[in-house]
Structure 1
């Protein structure tokens, strides 16, 4: 019997992964996101209501499932709480089923600002302007702030002040932007810490317990294989590993825990943002596909290239 399944996209995202995860999730006890952040837009229709999931695993519309946001994700608390409030209209106790890795890196206001300024320059690559790339940059430069850091306020404040000092120099000298206030950001994120406290976990404990108790896990990928940071159409890619292997490092699990891999593709191909697209149609058929398929980004609303 197949227990654990991973769902990934085989194109440039927007293949319908969210719908597949939602369809399958009723047979699973855990739904785990392992990469990306609020740049995802997984659209699910439940009865007469359309839900768009950016950070929260989309299987949570099934009320017996736990949702995990793994350490491979980057986390924007503001987007998360807005999404959570929308979902509470459907299930008022849904946050009791959401678990967030203490090792997730935080998206900070300076990540959003830098992403927006870059994209509005002539060097933009067509990102969602959600701060994803700059947050991953800080992660790999070893200066990022993690969710677990929120619960050591002195350490968090020290790192935050150092980061903002560097970012303000960069913003003012290179982009001639206004400086950011470290005290205002610190107070805001301490408020987030209190609200998040009950949801923060070491995610590997969850997976170890699940394996011991034969609980089934569905691993939910975001974006698609052609946007993988290593194997996609670089540099027009996302900032994380979107392929099956990304779940191993993004959740701290053994590859043996993944028993089945499902790749999702559409009958035609779409792409959002810049980058190569050899079969793109600029004729009427491309516009017809966009109109009939409602091909507009769930996160940005941008028309998709078809």
Structure 2
């Protein structure tokens, strides 16, 4: 990873400085020193301890505490691939979020057109399911760096294709706790805990439970994120480590992540691309 490589180079520079290595003065030595200091300056500029002007509102497999601001509309498309031998699943979910206030948002999402490739049973394609939801954020009195949120999603099996759509409608309540770390360049840590409860299932199966935790660290023009995702249903646990990178340009947001399955029931890996654009319906300009 590029970030760790640059950190190691910076550490190596400190060690050389500490031991006072003296190289003979020559044209080659001057060229080496010039390139060394140029690389150091470029690395320092690229990873300067400043953060993007706009908060990152979305990661890849977790819900964050931030809602859309009042009158703000966000459109997101997230094409992704899920690889799990012998099955590959391709989909392009789309989501619309709207801020009713600075603390409350409503959202609508659709899985888009889903294509499943199965080397054993053949391929299946069809429209995905629909989900509607809401989220409310709370600020901790006297501790503005600590925030929390509660949310509720309603999953509707509108696709109707066996094998790629859910059989029953379900509700998904969740809570989020988050903290901004001012001493760590305003890094953001979060934990989300929730469950999935079927509304019509006649079985006595326990509701599915999920937990997501992670950190977002801002650099000058982008943020890096790391998530730990844990999902359990029917006594089967899927665990993922999800490294990602997100860049914001005004009202546009781009992201890319590769979740890696670390438990046997999980997908081997996933590839997620994410594109978002925000509009203000209040007549205010979105951030440049």
The alignment's TM-score, normalised by the length of structure 1, stands at: 0.25
Look at both structures and tell me which one has the larger radius of gyration over its CA atoms.
2
Greater RCO, CA 8 A, separation 6+: 1
More helix by share: 1
Report the TM-score when normalising by structure 2: 0.26
